[in-house]
Structure 1
Amino acid sequence: MAVDDHPLLLDGIKAALSEQPDMKLIAEVMNGRDAIEQFRLHRPDVTLMDLRMPGMGGLQTLREILTEWPDARIVILTTYRGDAQVMSALKSGARGFMLKGMMRKELRETIRSVYAGRRVVPSEIAFELAQHAGDDVLSPREVQVLRELARGNANREIAETLKVTESTVKAHMKSIIAKLGAKDRTHAVMLALKRGILEV
């Protein structure tokens, strides 16, 4: 099954698999809700799923499918190499990752490998994971503070929104900058976007 909100990508997957004697695309869907319904209906051996979709994203869809079917083999498709989202998906049970730009070369082999029970993480993504393996993880509250900062809010506005004191926001900012190895607040937001801690 292929899950992606871009029809051209679904067409590309269909074309890539059309002449493979050992593969058949049994369902194509464009959002998370439909993916869960179609999974119930077809129980695909391997599911290719976009990480970023409107409504229910790939990560939430992956978790819901794996709650019902823990043995589901799901490969996350992404244009994005950010380590935070990759790590979340791996911890949630994704069996593999594929960068959309590499699909032409690696799609069929990735499907076969995941079907055979192996995990597939491209070297580019593995490198990003390794770069940040020892980093301190931001707390949920620190992510909230960073998200508010990314929206252009000053400390006082962040404090009002999160119903905390301004000094608490400043303490969180200090911790965020230290954990991300950022030079300043703006650099912290840029790093968080690059790593997938925040989404645009």
Structure 2
Amino acid sequence: MSAKIRVFIVDDQPLIRAGIQALLGRKPDIEVIGQASDGSEALRKIPALDPDVVLMDVRMPVMDGVAATRELIAAGTRAGIIILTTFQDDINVFNALHAGARGYLLKDADHKQIAEAIREVAAGRALIHPEITAQVLREFSRLAAQPLAAPTPPAKPAAPRNDRLALLTERELAILRMLGSGRSNQEISEHLTISIGTVKNHISSILSKLDVRDRTQAGLFAQQAGLAE
């Protein structure tokens, strides 16, 4: 049996922490190994416990989740950090992602979504709540459209965009278009009448062929290429 995914919860509300721990306790592959009530306490506890994933609230006293995420990343933590919050305002989303968070979920996500996010981030991937993905893509697209004062040439030139798109199958192109519009795996599955597992396999292939890190970057690629729905 493979080792369980070790999770640390950071939230200033004891009932929230207890509720999340109880829900995750039902998952045979996930283990909650510790908790903290604010970012400062998390910074003291996490290095010794060495979790695989940290569920981090945004708005907390003493030190908020964005600051704690920034400090943990700067300290070289190996844990993937998922922001779990009731707020989806742009400033929190982008500050958290910029600080190094690899996931962003709303607290109204059900236990299946939270567990799946933990598994994705533990595997080194990124995951953003579907309700937030569209606004992230819009903002990244806006930033990409702004002229750069002094662009730095890449050390290794990337393949031309059209060359990379030519590697995709027709089905992969269809999925890429939907990623560009912020569609979730479930929505893509229903639209194309294929299983969610098949959708995930196609997305993994798309990421590899486009040489991008996650579905958010793939969605931005689609927007910049004029492929979004």
TM-score of the two chains, using structure 1 as the length reference: 0.64
**Structure 2 unaligned residues grouped into runs of 5+:** 1-7, 147-229
Residue in 1 that maps onto 2:133: 126
Question: Pick from 66, 69, 80: which aligns with 2:73?
Answer: 66
Q: Which deviations, in whole Å up to 9, do the C-alpha atoms of 1:28-54 show, x marking residues without a partner?
A: 110111101111110101000001101
**Which amino acid is 2:33 matched to?**
I
Q: 1:84 aligns with which of 91, 97, 100?
A: 91
Quote the Cα distance in structure 1 between the aligned partners of 2:44 and 2:114.
24
SS of the residue aligned with 2:128?
coil
Q: Could you say which structure has the higher strand fraction?
A: 2
Report the counterpart of residue 165 of structure 1 in structure 2: none
Map 1:1-200 → 2, pairs under 5 A:
1-133=8-140, 134=142
**Residue identity (%):** 39
Equivalent AA in structure 2 for residue 32 of structure 1: G
Q: 1: CA distance between counterparts of 2:125 and 2:9? A: 19
Q: Report the TM-score when normalising by structure 2.
A: 0.56
Q: Once the 2 structures are TM-superposed, how far is the Cα of residue 70 of structure 1 from its aligned partner? A: 4.7
Structure 1 segments (4+ residues) deviating >4 Å: none
Do the aligned partners of 1:82 and 1:128 also contact (CA within 8 Å) in 2?
A: no
More helix by share: 1
Structure 1 residues without counterparts, runs of 5 or longer: 138-200
**Of 104-113 and 48-57, the range deviating more from structure 2:** 104-113
Alpha-carbon separation, structure 1, partners of 2:54 and 2:139:
28
Report the alpha carbon displacement of residue 127 of structure 1 after superposing the two structures with TM. 1.4
Paired residues in the alignment total 137
What is the CA–CA distance in structure 2 between the aligned matches of 1:11 and 1:71, rounded to whole Å?
Answer: 24
Do 1:81 and 1:128's aligned partners in 2 also have CA atoms closer than 8 Å?
no
Deviations 1:130-153 (A, max 9, x none): 33331699xxxxxxxxxxxxxxxx
Give SS of 1:27's match: strand
Matching residue's letter, 2:131: E
Given that residues 47 and 77 in structure 2 are in contact (C-alpha distance below 8 angstroms), is that contact kept between their aligned partners in structure 1? no
Instruction: Kindly report the root-mean-square deviation, in angstroms, between the aligned alpha carbons of the 2 structures.
Output: 1.8
Matched position secondary structure for 1:62:
helix
